[in-house]
Amino acid sequence: CFCELKGNVDECECSVDLVDKFNNYRVYPRLKSLLSKNYFRFFKVNLRKPCPFWPDDGGCASSACAVESCTEANVPQEIFQNIKNKSNIFGPVNNPKLSSESLDAGKCNEGSDEELGYLNTTLTKEMSADLALWKLHDDSQHSFCDVDDDNNNDSVFVDLLLNPERYTGYKGSSAQRIWKTIYEENCFKPKRGYGPYIDSTNVGDLCLEKRAFYRAISGLHASINIHLCAQYLHSHGVPGLQRWGLNVEEFQARFDPDRTHGEGPKWLRNLYFLYLLELRAIAKAAPYLEQLPFYTGNETEDAEVNIAVHDLLNQIKSFQPHFNESSMFTGGSKQARKLKEEFRHHFRNITRIMDCVGCDKCKVWGKLQTQGLGTALKILFSGSFDKANPTAFDLKSMKRSRFQLTRNEIVALFNAFGRLSNSVYSLELFQQAALN
Ligand code: FAD
């Protein structure tokens, strides 16, 4: 049991099987196709922001973690250009020249190292001052993330398709310190501690909101580790034998109850918990998301993306919600507001810790997934999406209001949910492989 957030977080009204079926047959195939489109594959990120918590510890020397840049021409000009203008989610900039130029874009760094999938990025030009307007709402009180400044010359576009999240070999003290800091300092630590980080039985001591916070982070951790097991580099360093694929042994070492003091299955349940949380956020924002043009300048692809987004959102809306955000931060009391503020502060800190990740590839996906989760939290808890009436999301009024989601937030939200969907799907593959 893992689903319904009530007084007791383990009270449950739906089964893992139900989520598996819904995800594997209805969500996963649709998302996989959607996330391959140009609108969703380019994520803007600053990989050079210094770690705000400790001196750079050198990080990961593995070539699998390395960053390679690709040229500006590889990013569709409309995406590139619209970042500079706050019309980036609402449609074209008045520059007809850009539309035709963008048609061939979207294939960056084709000659990259195929085995290890180097990161491909492109350095941006100087960004316009208009961006400051966008930044305003990111920095507003609603934001759960310490987002990168798009205006910074160090911010680059990364092609997510060419840089899949998978095994990189990032481990040891640097990786441990990140997870340890996230859990020990930012996860509302339970009073009694056990093991290297947190024994989830003690999480029961926490109040509902803090348990939810821990479970979301643990679910993210589980998802990242599932991906490195699902896309593992076998026979690393052996010429001719290297191949990417499932590593059942690695998966068992990380999640088998006997090898994790009984914790592994709980971590997997936390993955489902996070899945339902993000699913609920997307369903809640659906009336808003349905009105976005997902503009890249390529008319055919934009039309396809619009149809595909509607189709996906219809599926998501048809699934009965199991995450009930209205049971959190209730009462409107000073204490509830304080708790919400604390929650936001802790989560923002986690997004800042991502700047300390020593492997650039892991950092890109870590930043994307925390920003995606932060966007989901913003949707769930900012109050801006609480109105049930879709007309409340009238595009013109959204344009006028400062509350909007940036393209990067939308890309992060869909891709972060795509990662969770992929993890749930991968669990079935591990199950089948273990049976064979
Ligand atoms: P870790 O995963 O480092 O976990 C440390 C401890 O946390 C465990 O001993 C256990 O007690 C506890 N723990 C484990 N899982 C959970 C959970 N789900 N919930 C609660 N507690 C848990 N490696 C890659 O190969 N590819 C990547 O793309 C990648 N991305 C990363 C992104 C980030 C942000 C970070 C911090 C690390 C990333 N890593 C990646 C590294 C990877 O997550 C592991 O840290 C690494 O493989 C070492 O694993 P480990 O066995 O030491 O345990």
Chain segment 250-304, per-residue pLDDT in tens: 999 999 999 999 999 889 989 998 999 999 999 999 999 998 989 888 999 999 9
Distance from Cα 176 to the centre of ligand 1, integer Å: 7
Residue whose C-alpha is closest to residue 73's, from 51, 94, 102: 102
Atom 21 (ligand 1): residue with closest C-alpha? 218
Confidence of residue 79 (pLDDT cuts 50, 70, 90): confident
Do 160 and 41 form a contact (C-beta atoms < 8 A)?
yes
State if residue 267 touches ligand 1 by the CB under 6 angstroms criterion. yes
pLDDT band with cut points at 50, 70 and 90 for residue 205: low
Q: Is 195 in the pocket of ligand 1 (CB under 6 A)?
A: yes
Mode of pairing for the β-strands spanning 67-69 and 42-46: unpaired
- pLDDT reading at 62 higher than 80: no
pLDDT at 72 over 60: yes
C-alpha 191/C-alpha 201 separation (Å) is 12
ipTM: 0.99
Structure confidence at residue 329 (pLDDT)? 80
Output the DSSP codes for 168-224. Answer: ----HHHHHHHHHHHHHHHS---SS--SSS--HHHHTTS-HHHHHHHHHHHHHHHHH
From the CA of 217, give the closest atom in ligand 1.
19
78 pLDDT above the threshold of 80: no
b or e along 290-309 (b: 16 or more beta carbons within 10 Å of the residue's beta carbon)? eebbbbbbbeebbeebbebb
> Lowest mean pLDDT: which of 120-134, 143-157, 164-178?
120-134
Query: pLDDT tens across 304-313, in order?
Result: 999 999 999 9
Q: How far is the CA of 197 from the centre of ligand 1 (A)?
A: 12
Q: What is the pLDDT of residue 120?
A: 35
197 lines ligand 1 (CB under 6 A): yes
- The proportion of the chain whose per-residue pLDDT surpasses 90, expressed as a percent, equals 43
Which tens digit of pLDDT belongs to each residue from 387-417? 654 444 555 555 545 457 889 999 999 999 9
